[in-house]
Amino acid sequence: MSGARQSSRLAEWDAGATTRIVEDLRHLDGPLLAILHALQDRHGYIDDQALPIIADLLNLSRAEVHGVVSFYHDFRRRPPGRHVIKLCRSEACQSVGGERVARRLEASLAIAAGETTPDGRVTLESVYCLGNCALGPAALVDGKLYGRVDEKLLRHLVSPEVAA
Amino acid sequence: MTVRLFVPRDAAALSVGAHGVALAFEAEIRGRGLDATLVRNGSRGLFWLEPLVEVETPSGRVGYGPVGPGDVPGLVDAGLLTGGAHRLSLGPVEAIPYLANQQRLTFQRCGVIDPLSLDDYAAHGGLDGLRRALALGGAAIVDAVAESGLRGRGGAAFPTGIKWRAVLEAEADIKYIVCNADEGDSGTFADRMLMEGDPFLLIEGMAIAGLAVGAEKGVVYVRSEYPHAFRRLGQAIDIARRRGLLGFDLLGSGRRFEMEARLGAGAYICGEETALLESLEGKRGQVRFKPPLPAHHGLFGRPTVINNVISLASVPFILAEGAAAYRDLGHGRSRGTTPIQLAGNVRRGGLIERAFGLTLGEIVEDYGGGTLTGRPVRAVQVGGPLGAYWPTSLFHVPFDYEAFLERGGMVGHGGVVVFDDSVDLAAQARFAFAFCAHESCGKCTPCRIGSIRGAETLDKIIAGEAPEANGDLVRDLCEVMRDGSLCALGGLTPLPVLSAFDHFPEDFERRPRSAAP
Ligand SMILES: Cc1cc2nc3c(=O)[nH]c(=O)nc-3n(C[C@H](O)[C@H](O)[C@H](O)COP(=O)(O)O)c2cc1C
Ligand code: SF4
Ligand code: FES
């Protein structure tokens, strides 16, 4: 499941694993999303080289597979950093200073939302509601949910002293 | 006797440290050899008190909160296991006014039971609805749901009984029950809480829907932003299957119903029912033209009931207690109870299940206690990103589908987001357009392009560029989006935008640029 297992334990992309994942899940009705999630869980992103393999095994055109991958905000096309912060940008979090947290975090990490720090440590992403709207600002950090976050807490959670 | 101690495993409780609290209690229990067991319940939905720890005493459940891991040894010293007094004591949990002043039907077990104990579930009235449904048969189940007055809680408020009847009457070899757990609206968390805190209720509701319309397969589409809920629901489905609540022989009746949970992939539009079906089929989440309706041509072209989590989870009560018990509650044409979700800049945010009819003021002031920041309330947005912004002068309006529509708003999925007086409604209107642009499925031009133009025009207004002329432009644009969009994403984005303009005009009257020094 995407978001549940980012960080350092990600495997390098390989064709054999992709084939195995597709074989394992193709029995599902409408298996494509489940396959893409399984790939992203394993590698942190969907490698371009996976698309023709999926298309062949599912009897779809490459354009169809590409169309699905690009439609959904979850699916990354590049490997993420060792840590992924998904910061909520929706209204309830805005009402308690969520945008200020976003601006400060972007400034201190020196990246914009959607980017990874040059040292490959942190990827910052925007999400739109985590269902923690009474305890905002909210963020998922490496798949763990946090409430009442500020820039300091988020930086701490991905700092070398705390996280591997 | 072993004392039961409750520390929530609800994602919101975990987000403020419940896991550390549970570990600290485990250490105390082991270290001191206490005769206590830890139960990981869902949340009561009193989020400002999380982590909210409860102890079962002979005189009922006693609460403490918000508890941090460091408080745990002191709590044990103070005799928490027998309900002893402590700085963090909340007294009997069910007497906390926020909870005592609710009518919990759908959420009666949420936060009370062990979410993964089917025995706990049954001991608290679970499965009564399914047993009744098995005795009734399809048409009578549909009649009961229709009589209850239940309307869809996902946002569109369509009568559930009518939808079910259409699927019951459709002829097909395969029919589906699809549960919409995409819950994309900011300010909402009822679906999440229920899936985490009482997942068997959703399973029971889906099984009843299957019996009602003659469907043997159910799918829950859970948004990927809810990893905890997805895991919990998956565990509950496995347990239900092992214990005969799902499978070939529902509770020994010979009837069958199977279900699975599937994960979304971060697309708000996949909450729209036809986009959701496309997504479940493994495609881009693009909205389908209607007709045909999902009831006739739904998942993989088969007749499909698609309902929100709360709609389905409301059904077991209706079957167990009778349609009248549900219908007798409510206001106007909005019958029964609904979980109002109070969120944003509010002191006491949480879930309030009440019969329809509470006023906005009662929700925000009486339950919520005003803003978290202590500043005056200036606006509330009700119904998610497509819902209107309301000024406090409309706080007398009752929570009721029609009453909200009459004043240019909507109840939606029941989220109420509070803003203090630092809010800039021009910025919020801009966000509404930007969100629409970000989430548009791309099928219609007014939504795909209009939303981008809208955001650009608001940038100009915010910069003080011809606010009046640009304001007129926004109004025209809203009209085009409202009339020319296939679904409510493009069609209702004008709601937050125009309500901001109409109720908070001062935020759009920027100083013209030329007047700047
Ligand atoms: C843009 C958009 C987003 C929606 N998001 C959701 C959602 O997250 N959850 C939901 O239950 N319904 C959502 N709906 C409403 C569904 O289309 C549909 O009405 C609902 O699933 C029907 O179930 P109900 O009758 O039980 O409410 C959305 C509609 C639109 C237009
Ligand atoms: S209104 Fe927007 S989201 Fe809805 S169908 Fe049209 S383009 Fe897609
Ligand atoms: S709006 Fe941020 S968690 Fe819901």
Q: Where are the domains of chain B?
A: 3-100, 118-327, 331-420, 425-508
Ligand 1 centre to CA of A88 (Å) is: 21
- A vs B, Cβ pairs < 8 A, gives 169
CATH T-level assignment (fold) for domain B425-508: de novo design (two linked rop proteins) (1.20.1440)
Using a 10 angstrom Cβ sphere, with 0-12 exposed, 13-18 middle and 19 or more buried, the burial of residue B137 is exposed
Mean pLDDT of chain B: 97
- Contact call for residues A63 and B283 (beta carbons, < 8 A): no
Beta pairing partners, B379: B391, B419
Q: Taking the complete model, does pTM exceed 0.95, yes or no?
A: yes
Nearest to B106 by CA among B231, B193, B185, B227: B193
Tell me the CATH number of domain B118-327, given options 3.40.1410.10, 3.30.70.120, 3.40.50.11540, 3.40.50.1950.
3.40.50.11540
Q: At what angle do helices A32-43 and A50-58 cross, to 10 degrees?
A: 150
Nearest to B458 by CA among B410, B491, B507, B499: B507
Q: At what angle do helices A15-25 and A50-58 cross, to 10 degrees?
A: 30
CB–CB of A132 and B350 under 8 A? Answer: no
**Same fold: B118-327 with B425-508:** no
User: Which stretches of chain A drop beneath a pLDDT of 50?
Assistant: 1-7
Q: Which of B15, B230, B263, B422 to mutate to test the interface with A (most CBs of A within 10 A)?
A: B15
ipTM: 0.96
Token reading at B30:
């082991």
Backbone dihedral angles phi then psi of residue B164, each to the nearest 5 degrees: -65, -35
Q: What is the pLDDT of residues B180-236, one digit of tens each?
A: 999 999 999 999 999 999 999 999 999 999 999 999 999 999 999 999 999 999 999
Q: What is the pLDDT of residues B68-109, one digit of tens each?
A: 999 999 999 999 999 999 999 999 999 999 999 999 999 999
Q: What is the pLDDT of residues B141-190, one digit of tens each?
A: 999 999 999 999 999 999 999 999 999 999 999 999 999 999 999 999 99
Q: List all residues whose CB is within 6 A of at least one atom of ligand 2.
A: B 269, 287, 440-444, 447-448, 485-487, 489-490
Domain spanning B331-420 has what CATH number? 3.10.20.600
Residue A150, min C-alpha distance to chain B (Å)? 13
Ligand 2 centre to CA of B443 (Å) is: 5
Structural domain B3-100, CATH architecture:
3-Layer(aba) Sandwich (3.40)
Can you list the pairs that B449-455 forms with residues at least 24 positions away whose Cβ atoms lie under 8 Å? B450/B477, B450/B480, B450/B481, B450/B490, B451/B481, B451/B490, B451/B493, B453/B477, B454/B478, B454/B481, B454/B493, B454/B497, B455/B430
Q: What is the pLDDT of residues B474-505, one digit of tens each?
A: 999 999 999 999 999 999 999 999 999 999 99
Rounded to whole angstroms, the Cα distance separating A111 from A85 reads 12
Using a 10 angstrom Cβ sphere, with 0-12 exposed, 13-18 middle and 19 or more buried, the burial of residue A49 is exposed
